[in-house]
Structure 1
């Protein structure tokens, strides 16, 4: 039987290979054991996104939980986003949240995310505790469990997670300011779980890929520039779009485009958010970011006199600090588009962050480009890009070993001045240029990242990296 291992953000596997009904049942049995050991009256919120088999896999997990006398809170039908599950977990004081999703992975994958009772990713030590409780085989006769059996009715509660999320949005944001601002805005759901709720929040947007398509048209629903060329071309062809938002398969990651159809990376979004929350909204608190984020975040924090903390990659590390009642965290974010702010739960949320940027534009009366220039006046201009190299695991291991043993001193003309290795390998060439190499924890992929004063130089650094490591 396959050993089930949780990566940086849940367990993910290819549907019908390792991601099967029996294996979902196995994971759910491990979750059930952990819940019963840690809570007197355990309860769980569960939902699924737009991926193939979502309803089936939720039903599988649900059957396991009720068979173990665990109360389950879920939706009657339909998909939800990951932030909706996290918010409902907090709202209903549930012991745990589960999302059946593979987030931004290719359409052949599905997955299993765990959410803590504080409304964010379950902490790493608790995920590890669940892992060791996953049995080698499923011992439950799923066919014999009838959800409609009256003996289970006290264990099942149906709620409207989308409405709960909408209520939170209406409470926090000045939606009328956005609607009356004259801003022309667009949203690309990438066929993901944000497609319904955004139409209820701002019905007059231009919408792309906001229909149900579990195949995602064959593309991984990750909101990065190479996957959003259609959105970019739409902005350029329309000629009047001020800003566009994209979210991934489970709507917890953000992609952003300016009026010129140019991609705005997460580093710039994080800097914009700090600028808005501190200068314009008067909020305070520390900023926590992942290892692959730009050093300019630290400079922005220094400018505003707030603390900056760097953690390993994986939002669960950020969430652990945000969930600590002794900590005051303004923002937690990572390069891959996962950002949370203190006006919400300690959870990544692409729609919430997009609305925050749009509210910033509406209330300031300034374009996105103008606001970015305000950021540049504080930290200087820069460009960033990530390139994912799809290579076999054998070559990936060879490259990682060379990184580990300090074999790379030059990448083309770029001399390595210092190396950081908290989580991956970050090679600093000078104060404005760096390259990072890190293997994916869930796919046969080597991630490379670079920052420099211009995008042309960033791409030159990434190409030199590729030539140097032989990928």
Structure 2
């Protein structure tokens, strides 16, 4: 049985990510397309992962066999490029072949709905239901679709970068020394183009070749994956380093000392910059796993922070609902009002570079300025653990709580998340990942020791539940 999570379908290559399953996915989408009387073309993109180009052909062959026009990217693209193209052309469906930040042996399919938004759960549930009820699919050769004008190709890159540029203000310091690490992903295409458009002189770009093994790394710009980059920053005196995941919707940053700037700090600093220095107006949206630093910055700026469930589609929906200026999450994705309804690291990189250039301050000083402004200096820790019985753990969490060292104020159960709020403003989160079979744990507290202790308390709590439930 194929499953669609918060990031669509992801599977192991040659196991559940295979030609038959991809064509079943395409057939399910085709059936829904016709049931809803859609008439717009479907834009389809693919990234650098192994078999992504083949997968785009297999899916296109089934879509066009169902008399659906398909417009395919001429070459590899980032996920946000397809989201942007879908939004611009006001189409009903878009598809991206990627497994985002998962290990190299994964690939997957992301589906977008109207306005280029991530597919809502109602739609992904329907796709999943149809896939698992299908026994066959239609297909016809790619060349037949080309002859019948059902399949064509498009170059997206220039239009995408020009759109990003329209959201920027001119930068003052074009001599900032920046290291770019796309981790062998398609960010190597867009980031190079972006820096040239912004006029930033002589950037250094590493890991920018096509390597479906991603250099043996998990292609995610986490702190541990940027350790070598940190050495390069210090040795070569870079002002900052920017890194993106394999399909370029997650962002990681290192400051001038090689220290990791986490996604919470990136989101808070950009919001602060947009309001305080660019004069933009509006609230901010974050997910359950994002630091209260964001709330405090919003409060000091005279605005409100809206908290939503994990999944960027929820952030996009809240931005629309509240007409918020910006929204983002702790995993490294963000967007702003009137841009695409999805996270984009090329765009986030552009904003961050603009901020650093125009404030003409070291990154570490900017982050300190933001935290001092918010009077907020808590520590957030993240961890994860495997699990066996999801339903039993969720059921038990309804009945009792971990024995935290902080006094509990209240708790919120939202889908696969349990968030615990403490009286001093600290919090802890236990959530089941929608893309991997792991429990993710987040704790934000005034100091590292307390945060570490309460992470362990949650892990011990889950272990005890599973031991009893065996």
TM-score (ref. length: structure 1): 0.90
Tell me, yes or no, if the aligned pair for 1:71 and 1:156 is still in contact at 8 Å: yes
1:46-65 deviation line (CA, Å, top 9, x unaligned): 01111110011110110111
Write out aligned runs for 1:377-416 (5 A). 377-379=372-374, 380-389=376-385, 391-394=386-389, 399-410=393-404, 413-416=405-408
Residue ranges of structure 1 left out of the alignment (5+ in a row): none
1:199 corresponds to: 192
1:190-215 deviation line (CA, Å, top 9, x unaligned): 11111122122225222221111111
**Corresponding pairs, count:** 457
Q: Do the aligned partners of residues 222 and 296 (structure 1) sit closer, same or farther apart at CA in structure 2, a change above 3 Å counting?
A: same
1:428 corresponds to: 421
In structure 1, distance between residues paired with 2:136 and 2:268: 50
Give the C-alpha shift of residue 108 in structure 1: 1.3
Match of 1:445 among 427, 434, 438: 438
1:24-62 deviation line (CA, Å, top 9, x unaligned): 111111111111222441310001111110011110110
Give the C-alpha shift of residue 104 in structure 1: 0.8
Is the partner of 2:142 in helix, strand or coil? Answer: coil
In structure 2, distance between residues paired with 1:213 and 1:88: 26
Tell me, yes or no, if the aligned pair for 2:413 and 2:419 is still in contact at 8 Å: yes
In structure 2, distance between residues paired with 1:440 and 1:108: 18
Give the C-alpha shift of residue 138 in structure 1: 5.4
Give the C-alpha shift of residue 468 in structure 1: 4.8
1:144-167 deviation line (CA, Å, top 9, x unaligned): x22222774422231111222122
- Alignment of 1:311 with 2:305, yes or no, is no
In structure 2, distance between residues paired with 1:74 and 1:156: 7
Q: Do the aligned partners of residues 4 and 467 (structure 1) sit closer, same or farther apart at CA in structure 2, a change above 3 Å counting?
A: closer
Q: Do the aligned partners of residues 120 and 417 (structure 1) sit closer, same or farther apart at CA in structure 2, a change above 3 Å counting?
A: same
- Alignment of 1:147 with 2:142, yes or no, is yes
In structure 2, distance between residues paired with 1:220 and 1:184: 26
1:165 corresponds to: 160
1:358-401 deviation line (CA, Å, top 9, x unaligned): 10111121222222122112322222231122x2424x665544
Is the partner of 1:41 in helix, strand or coil? Answer: coil
In structure 2, distance between residues paired with 1:290 and 1:73: 33
Write out aligned runs for 1:128-147 (5 A). 128-134=125-131, 136-137=133-134, 139-140=136-137, 142=139, 145-147=140-142
1:403-428 deviation line (CA, Å, top 9, x unaligned): 33224123xx4454432333522233
Tell me, yes or no, if the aligned pair for 2:40 and 2:91 is still in contact at 8 Å: yes
In structure 1, distance between residues paired with 2:177 and 2:338: 25
Write out aligned runs for 1:56-75 (5 A). 56-75=54-73
In structure 2, distance between residues paired with 1:418 and 1:226: 33
In structure 2, distance between residues paired with 1:409 and 1:455: 18
- Alignment of 1:187 with 2:180, yes or no, is yes
In structure 1, distance between residues paired with 2:185 and 2:55: 17
In structure 1, distance between residues paired with 2:265 and 2:36: 41
Q: Do the aligned partners of residues 287 and 39 (structure 1) sit closer, same or farther apart at CA in structure 2, a change above 3 Å counting?
A: farther
Is the partner of 2:192 in helix, strand or coil? Answer: helix
Write out aligned runs for 1:259-278 (5 A). 259-278=256-275
In structure 2, distance between residues paired with 1:409 and 1:460: 11
1:291-342 deviation line (CA, Å, top 9, x unaligned): 1112232222222222322111101112223356xx5121121111121112
RMSD over aligned Cα atoms: 2.3
Is the partner of 1:393 in helix, strand or coil? Answer: coil
Tell me, yes or no, if the aligned pair for 2:49 and 2:107 is still in contact at 8 Å: yes
In structure 2, distance between residues paired with 1:468 and 1:151: 57
Q: Do the aligned partners of residues 430 and 230 (structure 1) sit closer, same or farther apart at CA in structure 2, a change above 3 Å counting?
A: farther
In structure 2, distance between residues paired with 1:41 and 1:344: 25
Write out aligned runs for 1:321-340 (5 A). 321-323=318-320, 327-340=322-335
- Name whichever of 148-157 and 195-204 sits farther off: 148-157
1:172-228 deviation line (CA, Å, top 9, x unaligned): 334x626x4431111111111111221222252222211111111333212211222
